Structure 1
Amino acid sequence: MSSARDPGSLSDVDGVLVGHHQRTGRGWQTGTTVVHVPAGAVCAVDVRGGGPGTRETDALAPGNLVDRVHAVCLSGGSAYGLSAADGVMAELETRGLGVPVGDDPAHVVPVVPTAVVFDLGRGGRFGARPGPDFGARALRSAKRTSRRGSIGAGTGARAGGLQGGVGMACAIVTVGDVAIRVGALAVVNAAGCAVDPRSGAPWVDHPAVRRPTADDRRAWRAWVHEQTVERQALNTTIGVVATDAALDRAEAGRVAMGAHDGLARAIRPAHALTDGDAVFALATADRSLPTDSDGLVRTATSRVQYLNAIAAASAEVFALACVDAVVSATTLGSAPAYLDLCPGARRP
């Protein structure tokens, strides 16, 4: 869970594992991240950007057949990177995880919702991009982890000219006598920036970052003035929010919507026509919520109040995860890391 310096991890939500695979050097700078739920989870998605790259998102709509998924794939490689999900599917099949389609328990069809970021050519070779092996390796490495930064799907990410990456956060929200965990993982590859161009401080406070020093602020403003931000055809923040609450797909969709509120707080601007912003929400159902059979909101512990609290927490943790991605990044190639430009902003 989060602490004085650690914002927490998506895998602080019980039953949610995270794995990464990446490749750098010799023309490569890209990777894949897989969020794995061995027991399965209800899944929903909210896509806001004008240039999304996604797979299996229609299957998640309320009323459609697929009730639970066992993995979500996030990858570099733009639309080419969607093939990383093929490797995730193949690996899940070997474990017997997926939608049963016959009497034989081995006969399953894994549904792997996927979203991608545009990082083509970041390492020097346009054709160096994730394939099925990246997805399979990321899934095989999935575990409870706090690894973040320039790894997995965030390896080739950029954020307003800075090195982007993978960030995470987690919080506990208590309504009545029920404590619910809400975690987030964000892959920040945005046209917008997570840092105020005037002050040099992130738009959203991060526990490991303090106000930049005077020297930092001068260096930051000089960099902002001199840089020419490369505008790609597709700039994207994608991610996953997970909760241990028992939600249906429509309710999980509200949680994904809340995450976009957090994205807009942390990345400015967001949801542009050239962005592919998409957030998945997972609900593992470890914590039961009350059922309001008539839909009326009578008390502070009605189901609607729980849902409002979870959606609000989703916004908070996703905003923090977006900033965490930039704060945790390391310099790769020509894009500097934030804390390399503003080293005095790192809390001792």
Structure 2
Amino acid sequence: MIQSRNLITDVEGLRVGNAHDAKLASGVTVTLFDEPAIASCAVFGGAPGTRETDMLEPDKMVQGIHGIALSGGSAYGLDAASGVQAYLREQGTGLAIRDVRIPLLPQAVSFDMLNGGDKNWGRYPPYRELGYEAARTAGPDFELGTAGGGFGATTVNLKGGLGSASAVTSSGHVVGALVIVNSVASAVIGDGPHFWSGAFEENDEFGGYGHPETVGPTQRELIWKGGPQPATTIALVATDAVLTKAQAKRLAVSSHAGIARGLRFSHALYDGDTVFAAATGRKALQAEEDFTHITAVVADCLTRAIARGVFEATALPFASAQPAWRDRFRRRERP
């Protein structure tokens, strides 16, 4: 029987590390693969910040990558990949080209520049060192909420954060999701406490409120950060299945349904919504429908992970900081 942490690390062959700077109010989350993983990605937001995503397209040469970085810091945060590369190089990990090894590490960033943290870092931003530390500490267990790349994340009305969830498909494949919830919109219905993800909740993993009986027009009114303020939800989904690069691409595309269900709304002009998909290749597909089951259950995991990221978050210690879900609703009597 598979022991579940309800984290993406339930997928055999990967580990996750976090690092953050409380004064900066930002951080980095890194996933490292024990062996090069087949991976692809799908970028659906209008304002993405990414690195090394072109090589993940199915027609490109590279067949395996060594990790994925998810970071705050907007374009400055792209420095995090350099720190992770430095760590991997020290371990002798990378694509071998004669006597040279090149660690392959795609990345996506979220915009957390207006959350109250001190962004006056001097000449160079601190994300390279944060990336190194996150990689150095990667393991099977990691913190959710205000941690790693989700440390400075926000939604329109509540503190965002780092979320994760896992599941097992009917064919026995383990799948999981890891997400930084830094949405331009909302993860809760109306003023809360119900999450848009509520219908997918398992074992009271984000409060046990479930889904309300009805959702009326007032609860569906659009609220968002507004104006030229980018935000983004960036994620990695993973499975232990043996997949081709083309299948990994399809998995990344279909997983965006998890974002669309978990937030009201997503994929907007000021969003940078990006999903990476990776396969660690530990269990072969036995039937044609196995892959379809994986795509459906992975999207469900991403929906759940979004709510967990907000549910587990704690408020930043700044005067104008957004409240955390748990500060507003944890003591409320459940219906």
TM-score by length of 2: 0.88
AA aligned to 1:74 is: L
1:39 deviates by 1.4
Contact in 1 for aligned 2:285/2:291 (Cα 8 Å): no
Contact in 1 for aligned 2:169/2:175 (Cα 8 Å): yes
User: Number of residue pairs matched?
Assistant: 313
Matches within 5 A, 1:135-174: 135-174=131-170
Please say if 1:331 is aligned against 2:311: no
CA distance, structure 2, for counterparts of residue 289 and residue 42 of structure 1: 15
CA distance, structure 2, for counterparts of residue 136 and residue 327 of structure 1: 28
Please say if 1:312 is aligned against 2:308: no
Query: For the aligned residues, what is the CA RMSD?
Result: 2.3
What secondary structure does 2:84 align onto?
A: helix
AA aligned to 1:330 is: T
1:126 deviates by 3.1
1:97 deviates by 1.2
Alignment deviations for residues 246-298 of structure 1 (CA, whole Å, 9 cap, x no partner): 001110111112220011000111000100000101100000114xxxxxxxx
Contact in 2 for aligned 1:17/1:144 (Cα 8 Å): yes
What secondary structure does 1:238 align onto?
A: strand
Contact in 1 for aligned 2:255/2:299 (Cα 8 Å): yes
Please say if 1:22 is aligned against 2:20: yes
Correspondence for 1:289: 285
Counterpart of 2:79 (choices 83, 103, 108) is: 83
Please say if 1:340 is aligned against 2:327: yes
AA aligned to 1:91 is: Y
AA aligned to 1:238 is: I
Contact in 2 for aligned 1:31/1:130 (Cα 8 Å): no
CA distance, structure 2, for counterparts of residue 66 and residue 196 of structure 1: 42
Distance 1:345 1:270, change over 3 A: farther
CA distance, structure 2, for counterparts of residue 313 and residue 110 of structure 1: 30
1:65 deviates by 1.4
Contact in 1 for aligned 2:27/2:127 (Cα 8 Å): no
Correspondence for 1:13: 11
AA aligned to 2:8 is: L
**Paired-residue identity, %:** 38
Contact in 2 for aligned 1:46/1:279 (Cα 8 Å): yes
Alignment deviations for residues 65-108 of structure 1 (CA, whole Å, 9 cap, x no partner): 11111110011110010011011111111112111111x3xx11
Query: Highest CA radius of gyration, 1 or 2?
Result: 1
1:161 deviates by 2.3
AA aligned to 2:292 is: N
Correspondence for 1:42: 38
The worse-fitting range, judged by mean Cα deviation, of 236-245 and 281-290 is 281-290
Counterpart of 1:202 (choices 195, 210, 226) is: 195
Counterpart of 2:184 (choices 185, 191, 196) is: 191
Distance 1:34 1:232, change over 3 A: farther
Matches within 5 A, 1:201-220: 201-205=194-198, 206=201, 207-208=204-205, 209-211=207-209
Structure 1 stretches (4+) deviating beyond 4 angstroms? 227-232
TM-score by length of 1: 0.85
Distance 1:160 1:121, change over 3 A: closer
1:15 deviates by 1.4
Name stretches of at least 5 consecutive residues in structure 1 with no aligned partner: 213-220, 291-301
CA distance, structure 2, for counterparts of residue 2 and residue 238 of structure 1: 26
Alignment deviations for residues 171-195 of structure 1 (CA, whole Å, 9 cap, x no partner): 00023xxx10000001000011110
AA aligned to 2:196 is: W
CA distance, structure 2, for counterparts of residue 252 and residue 230 of structure 1: 34
